[in-house]
Chain A
Amino acid sequence: MALLDFGAAVARRRPRAAADGLLVRLLARPSAVVGLALLAIVLVAAAGADRFFPEDPLAMVALPLLPPGEDPAFPLGTDMLGRDIAAGVFHGARVSLLIGVVATLVSLVIGVGIGALAGYYRGALDRALMRVTELFQTIPPFLFALAIVAVLQPSIPTIVGAIGVTSWPSLARLVRAEVLKLRTSEMVEASIALGAGDARIILRHILPNAAGPILVSASILVATAILTESSLAFLGLGDPNVVSWGGMVGAGREVLRTDWYVATLPGVAIVIAVLALNLLGDGLNDALDPRSGRR
């Protein structure tokens, strides 16, 4: 933690230097480099989906069940309705990333908010908020998300909301622990002495110093959100108007026995995206806490 405080102090004076330091440390870890590279591939796929595959990925463009590699125009083949699997994979990247990132933002707002309030004010408020957190932790998150989406009908906003509402408890606990630690630091005592208000202390002094662990959690949360979204879509709870990796796998199940590639290829995309974010999270964790990297 001492190192992070120092880092934040440096950041205030020379913002670029500290950011560069983190990036340099990040790039020194092979796992983080692999993660960043994989993530770059997914980002390029998402950003370039319209350019590479301008047609609607849900449109029927060729003969159904064309095996991969047979027609160079459809490198990954087509599914049972003649939809281009490669186009689906590229456009699916956009949907997965969008849902993963926005759901994580929802989760961050709830988790950081509850964690910061509980840790800062302690006492009765802390007990009440932790009770609620425990409650949300007890309900199996995937089943909970599934029930919410089923009740509200699947669409991108409901899926994002359901994932966000079910994934914040661990983050709230983490933030609470960080805030409890920082609350008694000299830096905060100095701010109190200077007459700073609670909101200012929490937002300007405490949270920026807890940014490291929150960032690590956020990258893991995006990975988990992508997994949850694809699982929901696999069960038929995806937004019917957009292509989704999980939905493609689910649809391909029907022809699994004869044309295994329809269901399995989009799954590889999920693995790449989730692996990238997990590796990045691991790398960030090590880079922010150099002690853990030495072993």
Chain B
Amino acid sequence: MIVVVLGIATINFFLLHLAPGDAAQVLAGEAGSATPEYIATLRAQFGLDRPLWSQFLSYLGNVLTFDLGWSFRHGMSVGRLILDRLPATLLLMGASVGFAALAGSALGALAGRRAGSLADTAVSTVALLFYATPTFWVGLVLTVIFSVWLDWLPVGGMTTIGAGFSGAAYALDVAHHLVLPAATLGLFYVAVYARLMRASVIDVQGRDYVRTAVAKGLRSHRILRRHVLRNALLPVVTMLGVQIGSVLGGAVLVETVFSWPGLGRLAFEALFQRDLNLLLGVLLCSSVVVVVVNLVVDLAYAALDPRIEVA
């Protein structure tokens, strides 16, 4: 894991140095009076005047101690900013992936059990459509329908501003704000999991152990639950781990559409303020989230499938 983090940090560092101009120039340019002496002072202050390899080594050292540098825009350390925003993103991702895994597996199982039926055609078609629909567009359409026309759900944000809720009322308020973003981010993955689960159920249904269960005269819902679904779920769990990086990417779009105060929104702000230090810090932390989630998925996999041992 340390190797992965160091690798990503290396990519980050060189990406940062591909950028035209450095932080000193950007800041000095904005201050208006950019004398060469002022820029030189800024450079020395930030260590930008040292040779590249020396900057690189100190950057790596900083990353390993979770010191991601300073965001000149926010006047806060990048690590602090990211830690502040991470919970909102994890909540959004958890809700979306949970919704997608439940709805997707249920729909996929329904379709796969009666392959070729009307229900299968309907599920497959809808899944195909959502699979091709850009996340941000789904977000806008849902906003138009549920916030503008029906006025059921808030257009954005995470809490009602100025309401000052606490306790259960606060949780309900956040949940109310969470519905649209989570549904938006989740719908694409509902399609992914429905397609996967359908194929998986069809595959498992043809296996010998299912035929044996049928021959034993087990009731069909028991066969479905104990023999088919349990085995068919394995690829879905694998996919959760594989796709977590793409979920994070989707979160950037969804958080931007719904002004959800998470990592993605932070990345978007950093983008526009040309706060590259912050942007690359978000990239690094997202990668760490991917590594950690994959670790968790491996453990979950071992719990679901006793044939697999955690290496």
Contact = CB atoms under 8 A, between A and B. Distances in A.
Interface of A: 131, 134-135, 137-144, 146-148, 150-153, 223, 227, 230-231, 234-237, 246, 249-250, 253, 256-257, 260, 263-264, 267, 270-271, 274-275, 278-279, 295
B115 interface: yes
Nearest to B145: A260
Contacts of A270: 133-134, 137
Given A139-B287, A147-B283, A148-B15, A236 B134 contact: no
Contacts of A141: 245-246, 249
Interface residues of B, number: 48
Interface of B: 4, 7-8, 11, 15-16, 18-20, 115, 128-129, 131-137, 140-141, 143-144, 148, 202, 245-246, 248-250, 252-253, 256-257, 267-268, 271-272, 274, 276, 279-280, 282-283, 286-287, 290-291
Judged by DSSP, the binding face of B is: helix
Contact of B286 (A140, A253, A274, A275): A140
Contacts of A146: 249, 252, 267, 271, 279
Contacts of B246: 140-142
Given A141-B246, A267-B137, A270-B137, A257 B280 contact: no
Chain A facing B: main interface SS: helix
Given A234-B134, A256-B144, A256-B148, 16 more contacts: A134-B4, A135-B11, A139-B287, A142-B246, A142-B250, A146-B267, A150-B274, A150-B279, A151-B18, A151-B276, A152-B19, A231-B134, A231-B249, A237-B271, A253-B257, A264-B137
A251 B279 CA distance: 23
Contacts of B280: 147
Contacts of B248: 140, 142-143
Nearest to B291: A138
B290 A138 contact: yes
B140 A249 contact: yes
Contacts of B283: 139-140, 143-144, 147
Contacts of B128: 275, 278-279
Contacts of A234: 134, 136, 253
13 contacts: A135-B8, A135-B11, A139-B8, A140-B245, A140-B290, A141-B246, A143-B283, A263-B137, A264-B141, A271-B129, A271-B132, A275-B129, A278-B128
